Chain A
Amino acid sequence: MEDTIAAIATPPGVGGIGIIRVSGPKSRDLLRLLFKSAKGIGDLRSHHLYHGDIISPETGAVIDEVLVCLMKKPHSYTGEDVLEINCHGGPVILQTVLTEIVKAGARLAEPGEFTRRAFLNNRIDLSQAEAVLDIITARSDRGLELAVSHLKGTLAKKIETLRSTIIDVLALLEASIDFSDEDIEVCKPLEIADTLKATLDELQHLLSTYREGKILREGISAVITGKPNVGKSSLLNRLLGEKRAIVTPIPGTTRDFIEETVTIRGVPVKLTDTAGIREPENLIEREGIDFVREKLSGADIMLIVLDGSEKLSGEDHDILNRAGTKRCLIIINKTDLPHRLNETRLQTLLGKTAPQPLWISAKYGDGIDNLKDAIYSLAMDTPEHHHSEHIISNIRHKTALEKTSVLLSRARESILNGVSPEFASFDIREALDSLGEITGKTINEEVLDRIFSTFCIGK
């Protein structure tokens, strides 16, 4: 029998709520041991939220007020009994609750173990499992959003639809081979070619969403932000290679925003220089700042500029906090001036998971090459802005779809050229195998099922 695992499911840090997930046969017992509700929980129903407290079974002391949900197997994420405890956020509370759960008989989950169980219990197919793995490694909420849409199986569903159409075509071809001596309708090459064309178009559309190609073609947007006079405009000019923005030592010079596109390592990057964010002194300034905030939320990546020649200020704190989990680069400007910024403090502020700050001198160009590299890697790692519903983000999927597309074109061509159907069938079978690399399925019985449900066959 499998043991019971538990882990904090929400990202580290302070948040509104934090979720602890438990999976395994002991989930129900753990709940009965640790959870107390004023109304009592009676016969626990699956997929229902219960309100109550998590208590320490030893002392009876209340640890946190929580909402719990038990998802009985097999209708859960892992296919086992799963318990989710919605605690109040905060690492200390979560840690305490988790400790109680472990004391009561669960063990800490290894990274990716929930997913592995889901995968091994057939709760998810290969593409969904990969999406989940992406979730685990995703560092941004944008990445998360993308991965979540995969998880729901929209890609899997889309591919299933394509697959079904292709199997229909295959069934027609196979029926014309294996039942040519029966009284069945002959398959019409032109109709089959048309169906394949439509499928090919859909495949092309799917492939066009692959982010690497899209980013190289359409680029990304980056916002330069930071408190006034940290050198945002200088940085913009340095990246553009010419002077555009007005550069003065007076805070708030760039009231408006400036937008320029520059190609960095082959990627078009739309750079937006924003007004320094600080508490507005007048209405116009407020409007400008609101606009900047909007800009910020829409950007793919954020370049946060700090002044290395000054101590971290409250404004810096605010900006760093606002950045939240957005994809960003921390840039410490003015390496040409004496160094006053307290790095240890900055590191504490940023947390362990944050990227290393980049030191530059916008004025003299020191560190700009490193910065360009960093922007490039961040860009290539970022999902494009306006994503369509079905997006290909995995190189394995892309390769499989490309192969499918090549094989289907070949099949179509051979059908149009009047080549005997077993050859088109061969290409189509390989195409289905290739699609199967994403969802992992075999086809033989399905084809026969289609034939027998479509045609009246037999002596």
Chain B
Amino acid sequence: MSKHYDVIVVGGGHAGCEAALAASRMGCSTILFNINLDSVALMSCNPAIGGLAKGQLVKEIDALGGEMGKIADKTAVHFRLLNASKGPAVQSSRFQCDKQLYRLAMKAVVEKEKNLHLRQTLVDRLVVEGKRVIGVEDHTGVFYKGNVVVITTGTFLNGMIHVGTVHYPAGRAGEIASIDLAESLKSLGFEMGRMKTGTPPRLRASTIDFSRLERQDSDPDPEPFSFTTEELREERLPSYFSYTTKETHRIIRENIMHSPLYSGVIKGVSARYCPSLEDKVMRFSDKERHPVVLELEGLNTEEIYAKGLGNCLPLDLQEKIVRSVPGLEEAEIMRSAYAIEYDFVQPTQLKPTLETKLIEGLYMAGQINGTSGYEEAAAQGLWAGINAAMAVQGRSPFVLDRSEAYMGVLVDDLITRGVDEPYRMFTSRAEYRLILREDNATFRLMGRGYDLGLIPKEHYDRMQEKMCQVQEGIRSLSSVRIYPGSEVNTILQEIGTAPIKNPVTLYQLLRRSEISYDDLKRFAGWEPVKDRMVIKQIEIEARYEGYIKRQLDSVMKMKALEGKKIPRGIDYHSVPGLSNELKMKLSKVGPVTIGQAERIPGMTQAAITAILVTMKKMEIETASQQKKEAPSQ
């Protein structure tokens, strides 16, 4: 039995769903495998989509025709705009979703896609011919032929769960690990590493004394992630705050030897930004308490996600720890916390398309590339799915650079720097973050999504219409000039801003942070727009013009370096003056441009000079070669 598909996606998590949807929507016959169809798009850990820098990713995914934002909008029950008091570039949305609704909604979208087949099985082996993948084989020996294969295995690849001294193979609590596939990848010659992550305990809501906890309600008037979302759910769930106590820390310190993190059993690397409670207590011993956030996992469940209590101690100790927290004295653990170790593939082995350099037609996305987070996974899934389809159709690769999207930063960081801990997106990773905002993601990227065939014309036209309104709005405000005078200055005083001494345009006035677009309606002579999205763009353009211009200047400089292509045949071992370490790194990463080479960790100006000198030499040699080969007159 054998069937042929254009694109095979192995793993139906957040990366796999986006990859499969993108490829099938771009016209490729696609099959998506998952070990258990009831866990497609499962939110394995926290119940939130978005967060700082991650919200930007979700908006970008949406602008390119991805699904994550739409599903989050449909299933969210608690909304927060993070950094609301800061500037627009660092504001991010975080939506707490009903986990089961999320999973089911995504599964429904996948099921309805006509080019897409969803199948429950365990893929054990990649089938490779020469240096090209030709399909996969499942655990029952069935061969699936495919043009390209996208691997999105998450924590399942050689997964190993740890609770106290007990450890057993699993991809997630209650699910089997994917062990043979890890072997298959190793035997193909991939450099693999081991990472560790973990998840906190789930508690039973009815056993928690909420009256003792600080309550946080959802923002009242949230903006959806997706450009297409008309309205959000009505139901809202609160979350609650508490803190660990001295008692909590004492329990941990006295029992630290029971943690596999400290007994040396766990070898995988964990993320510094996501330490388990053992690490927090041991590494920051001077801190008297650590926060605990309680988030309901859904509308129809008692399960509460106890953020901040993640650990991998034995269950009896977990219970003691939980009950040492105010409000949780009687709390019942429904699912224990655990740590999980899994294999990842060092992402410097990938091309900018997320195709592997080693095996043609093989793509990787998500945690297998050493990242963490639903959003990071989905972004890579979309990216890999698009490129898989492009390859099948013989179209040129789809790559965004660091100035175009957080997705560009993500992929460039992975393939250039590699990872030594689970990679999470931060706004500080994006050097051009002032122009990579949530509010302009649609304007930045929807045109690209439309070109790919992932955005319907109707949406694209609507976005274009808004873009025109922004330009028109700026022009209109710039055309209205107000003059110093008692009438004008009284209005300004009422708005709460300084009077003017010279004539100014309304657009210039909007640069003052204390003046809003709506305030300007008090001056006549122009036609205000009503669209919130358009107004926001006009305000941001006016207020941050100077910074945005400077940022665009540095983008130009970056693009110049990105324009310096490094010839594919360069042999770094023959470049004089490079340290062995850099020779190895450069050979491994194989930077496409001088710009990318500069971003390799440990790179020095001297090494860049050496590469440039070598490139120059190669150029001269090629030129003289060509001269020699040219027929003599």
Contact = CB atoms under 8 A, between A and B. Distances in A.
A2 interface: yes
Given A120-B577, A183-B291, A456-B284, A440 B547 contact: no
A122 B601 contact: no
Contact of B605 (A125, A423, A426): A125
Contacts of B290: 183, 456
A445 interface: yes
B434 A444 contact: no
A315 interface: no
A127 to B, nearest CB: 10
Given A117-B577, A120-B609, A422-B86, A456 B428 contact: no
B426 interface: yes
A352 interface: no
A421 B428 CA distance: 12
Nearest to A452: B272
25 contacts: A120-B576, A125-B605, A126-B606, A177-B83, A178-B426, A178-B427, A178-B428, A179-B273, A183-B290, A421-B86, A423-B87, A423-B434, A426-B550, A440-B604, A440-B605, A442-B598, A444-B431, A445-B417, A457-B272, A457-B275, A458-B271, A458-B273, A458-B274, A459-B46, A459-B310
B576 A445 contact: no
B200 interface: yes
A203 interface: no
A330 to B, nearest CB: 40
Contact of A2 (B280, B576, B598, B599): B576
B87 A178 contact: no
Interface residues of A, number: 37
Which size bracket describes the interface of B in this complex? 35 or more
Given A119-B606, A423-B87, 15 more contacts: A126-B606, A181-B51, A420-B87, A422-B87, A422-B433, A429-B431, A442-B598, A444-B428, A456-B287, A457-B272, A458-B271, A458-B273, A458-B275, A459-B46, A459-B310
Interface string A352-364: 0000000000000
Interface string B594-623: 000011010111110110000000000000
Nearest to A433: B554
- Give the secondary structure class of A's interface: helix
Interface of A: 2, 117, 119-122, 125-126, 129, 174, 177-183, 419-423, 425-426, 429-430, 440, 442, 444-445, 447-448, 452, 456-459
A129 B90 CA distance: 40
A426 B287 CA distance: 31
Interface in B562-620: 576-579, 598-599, 601, 603-607, 609-610
Interface in B276-291: 280, 283-284, 287, 290-291
A393 to B, nearest CB: 20
Nearest to A116: B577
Interface in B425-459: 426-429, 431, 433-434
A120 B606 contact: yes
Contacts of A120: 576-578, 606, 609-610
B53 A178 contact: yes
B551 interface: yes
Nearest first, the 8 closest Cβ-Cβ pairs linking A and B are: A120-B577, A440-B605, A420-B87, A456-B284, A452-B272, A420-B86, A183-B291, A174-B428
Interface of B: 46, 51-53, 82-83, 85-87, 89-90, 94, 200, 271-275, 280, 283-284, 287, 290-291, 293, 307-308, 310, 417, 426-429, 431, 433-434, 547, 550-551, 554, 576-579, 598-599, 601, 603-607, 609-610
Contact of A181 (B82, B551, B607): B82
B428 A177 contact: yes
B52 A180 contact: yes
Given A2-B576, A180-B83, A459-B46, A448 B428 contact: yes
Nearest to B198: A459
A181 B427 CA distance: 13
Contacts of B434: 422-423, 426
Contacts of A129: 606
